[in-house]
Amino acid sequence: IQPEKSRRRVLLKLSGEVIGGGKLGVDPETVRAIAKQIAAAVSDVEVAIVVGGGNFFRGAELSQSGMDRSRADYMGMLGTVMNCLALQDFLEQAGVETRVQSAITMGQVAEAYIPRRAIRHMEKGRVVIFGAGAGLPYFSTDTVAAQRALEVHADVVLMAKSGVDGVYTSDPKKDPTAEKLDVLSYDDALRRDIRVMDQTAMTMCKDNNLSMVVFGMEGEGNVTRAIRGETLGTLVTP
Ligand code: UDP
């Protein structure tokens, strides 16, 4: 039996692109700004975060260059942990208590992934940052965002995007007639091949009745607003 939650609980997905400010590695000023926005919302909402790693390595790309895919994927997962530590640092500087939980054990820098403990942290007002993806090659951090959200009983997945403020009928960078959608179903997204997150992740959300909000990082206070549940971006529904 799932105990009653007293507060809203959200799972925020931050891609490596967001953490790196579009460049290789961590962009400290970008992470500081995100951390401040998260700090502004945590008194009212429980927050868990899944961090991507594409600003360091993507396994699929490395394997294109001849590396063994699984080993390359582990490099990708290790990259996410560096992003977690950067985010943890700036969140703590902003006065937020945090815990990093890693799917690959590395006790010196992170707790192991223990879902019930993650929930307990959130109940105490701590932000939990999930690193190392699922700990499994051939997965993406989008899929992990869906899985972690389900396992810790988050109310919604918040997908932060850079360079776009929601889901459009077609690519707004290429098509001037593209229109932003306020609401979209997973079925529509899958049928129309709209890549708001990978298909495995979308299917998981759809099958388990979990909604998602796709929103842009760029607007003033957008991360805070998304965490608080204000209407912005595109709502994707089961
Ligand atoms: N990865 C993995 N298993 C996971 C999560 C991530 O193998 O459960 C690897 C994979 O190589 C991926 C990389 O880590 O390309 C970085 O994650 P992702 O591409 O999802 O990050 P994002 O695009 O969100 O920055």
Region 2-29: what's the mean pLDDT? 92
Verify whether ligand 1 is closer than 6 Å to residue 47 (CB atom). no
Burial level of 32, CB count in 10 A (0-12/13-18/19+)?
A: middle
Tell me if 20 CB under 6 Å of ligand 1: no
Question: Which atom of ligand 1 is nearest the CA belonging to 134?
Answer: 8
Residue 181 — pLDDT band, cuts 50, 70, 90? Answer: very high
* ∠ Cα 3 52 212 (to 5°): 50
Q: State the average pLDDT over residues 198-226.
A: 96
Task: Quote the ipTM score.
Answer: 0.98
More confident residue, 233 or 195: 233
Which atom of ligand 1 lies nearest, measured to the CA of 142? 20
Q: Domains in the chain, ordered, with CATH? A: 8-237 (3.40.1160.10)
- Looking at the CA of residue 59, tell me the nearest atom of ligand 1: 11
The number of beta carbons lying within 10 Å of the beta carbon of residue 43 is 9
pLDDT, tens digit, for every residue of 30-70?
Answer: 999 999 999 999 999 999 999 999 999 999 999 999 999 99
Span 204-218, average pLDDT = 97
Whether pTM exceeds 0.80: yes
Judge if the beta carbon of residue 144 lies within 6 A of ligand 1: yes
Q: Best substitution site from 87, 140, 195 to test ligand 1's pocket, by max atoms within 8 Å of Cβ? A: 140
Q: What is the pLDDT averaged over residues 73-80? A: 98
Is ligand 1 within 6 A of the CB of residue 54? Answer: yes
Query: Which residues are paired to 69 by β-bridges?
Result: none
